[in-house]
Amino acid sequence: MASGAGRRRGHELVPLAALISREMKNEKMEKPSVRCGHAAQSRKGEDYFLVKTDCQRIFDGHNGNAAAIFTREHLLSHILSAVPRGLGREEWFQALPRALVAGFVKTDKEFQSETSGTTATFVIVDAWTVTVASVGDSRCILDTQGGGISTLTVDHRLEENVEERERVTASGGEVGRLSIAGGAEIGPLRCWPGGLCLSRSIGDMDVGEFIVPIPYVKQVKLSNAGGRLIIASDGIWDALSSEMAAKSCRGLPAELAARQVVKEALRTRGLKDDTTCIVVDIIPPESSPPPSPLPKKPNKLRSFLFRKSSRDSANKLSKKLSAVGIVEELFEEGSAMLAERLGIDEGAGQTTSGLFTCGVCQVDLAPSEGISVHAGSIFSTSSKPWQGPFLCAACRNKKDAMEGKRPSGVK
């Protein structure tokens, strides 16, 4: 009877396998395609980059290339090892910021060179969601199809970043310019000892552990119009503003766009530093409807640009924002305090064997060995010693040094 009724209403019965196949096809069509290109000009041989499917990274080394090479080879695996297994899609996105912090700190902790250091800009593209983690002054910008340009990183240069200057001095460092004969001061603000212009990097152990590897992390969701990411070392940004870089390559495919950005930077400033650029295009499916044009008076919408939303209302807001080509901010955090970045989690890191794992380096800990990341922290919202995440002794020493609680290098 059901079959006959279906035919009378003009419907056909469809095999379950065909429905599943159709659903899978439709789901694939909803995801954008990703195309990327890169270009570089070397002066000192200290810029390195690595492009993998759904993951783009730039490392701008200084005082040699050892830190950049080490980070390129180990950072991704350290981040992935910090992501809990068996997570669903939404849980994966929520766990990623903490895993990025742990991966950056572990990479820095394992790097043994005394003088070499590197910036790092790490980008993960997963369908419409873009997650960026960065230390230093390599930058990632987003150029949307509507022409809006947003910066997805924060420059950790002492000259421009007042909050970082205050943090470094509070942790035991000194900030000042280079002094020359006669007492005159020249050049940008630097951290002493060492004379580094950056407040965050991987490596640079000779400068002091208050130069921290804890990344600024930003996670956004693009509208169905897609967009273009431009990830580049300071050889680009010392020559071009974000707007100049984006405008110089609009209309070009990713590979040619990266070359054009490098060419424009060299034309403006010359080859004074290693200059590296990666361009990533997030392209909507052909079947997607074109985005609605922005209204002529967009002032009322500016409050929505990169606005934060709760996870519960994310889907509803996302549909509204996608209709007008606006980017939705899912997560943003730039604190240099490890206790804040790892959060509070009762029973965090416990394995099936009853052991715990260090929240940074993922080594196994007996319950009596782990030290809560919040122990003794002024940022802790609880003094319960069993609240995780927990740190091994070595990572606890690293945390104390980054916060200026002990002299750098002293355990």
| In a shared domain, residues 261 and 364 | no
On whether both 365 and 224 belong to a single domain, the answer is no
Instruction: Give 244: exposed, middle or buried? Use CB within 10 Å, 0-12, 13-18, 19+.
Output: middle
268 and 371 assigned to the same domain: no
pLDDT, residue 102, reads 97
Is 68 in the same domain as 217?
yes
Q: Are residues 78 and 214 in the same domain?
A: yes
Is 173 among the domain residues?
Answer: no
> Residue 118 corresponds to which tokens in the numbers above?
């590197």
Q: Is residue 169, in this structure, part of any structural domain at all?
A: no
Last residue of a domain, one of 284, 310, 326: 284
Of 260, 284, 308, which marks where a domain is finished? 284
- pLDDT the model gives residue 55: 67
| Full domain range(s) for residue 362 | 354-406
Number of domains in the chain: 2
Same-domain status, 373 and 266: no
Question: What is the predicted pLDDT for the residue at 241?
Answer: 95
Nearest to 257 by CA among 289, 218, 229: 229
Question: Are residue 53 and residue 147 in the same domain, yes or no?
Answer: yes
pLDDT value of residue 377: 54
DSSP-assigned letters across all residues of 66-93:
HHHHHHHHHHHHHHHHTSPSS--HHHHH
* 234 CB burial (10 A radius; 0-12, 13-18, 19+): buried
Q: Is 136 in the same domain as 262?
A: yes
pLDDT tens over the chain, length 411 residues: 443 434 334 445 555 455 445 544 544 447 888 898 988 887 877 777 777 766 666 877 677 788 888 988 999 999 999 998 888 888 999 999 999 999 999 999 999 766 788 989 999 999 999 999 999 999 999 999 777 899 999 999 999 999 999 999 988 889 999 888 777 888 899 998 888 999 999 988 888 888 999 999 999 999 888 999 999 998 899 999 999 999 999 999 999 999 999 999 999 888 877 889 999 999 998 744 444 444 444 444 344 344 444 444 444 444 444 444 578 999 999 999 999 999 887 555 555 445 688 999 999 988 778 888 888 654 444 455 567 899 999 999 999 989 887 655 544
Q: Determine the pLDDT at residue 378.
A: 47
In a domain, 368, yes or no: yes
Residue 13 lies inside a defined structural domain of this protein:
no
Same domain, 44 and 129: yes
Residue of 128, 125, 108, 126 whose CA lies nearest to 59: 108
Q: Report the b/e string of 295-313 with b at 16+ CB within 10 A.
A: eeeeeeeeebebeebeeee
Report yes or no: 274 and 40 within 8 Å, Cβ to Cβ: yes
Number of CB atoms found within 10 A of residue 365's CB: 21
Pick the closest to residue 103 from 119, 81, 136 (CA basis): 81
The closest of 170, 140, 306 to 236, measured between CA atoms, is: 140
Are residues 360 and 279 part of one domain?
no
**Do the Cβ atoms of 219 and 97 come closer than 8 Å?**
yes
Q: Which helix (H) or strand (E) holds 268?
A: helix 254-269
CATH number for the domain harbouring residue 222: 3.60.40.10
Q: Which of 284, 308, 323 is the last residue of a domain?
A: 284
Q: Is the CB of residue 121 less than 8 Å from the CB of residue 140?
A: yes
Decide: residue 376, CB within 10 A, 0-12 exposed, 13-18 middle, 19+ buried: middle
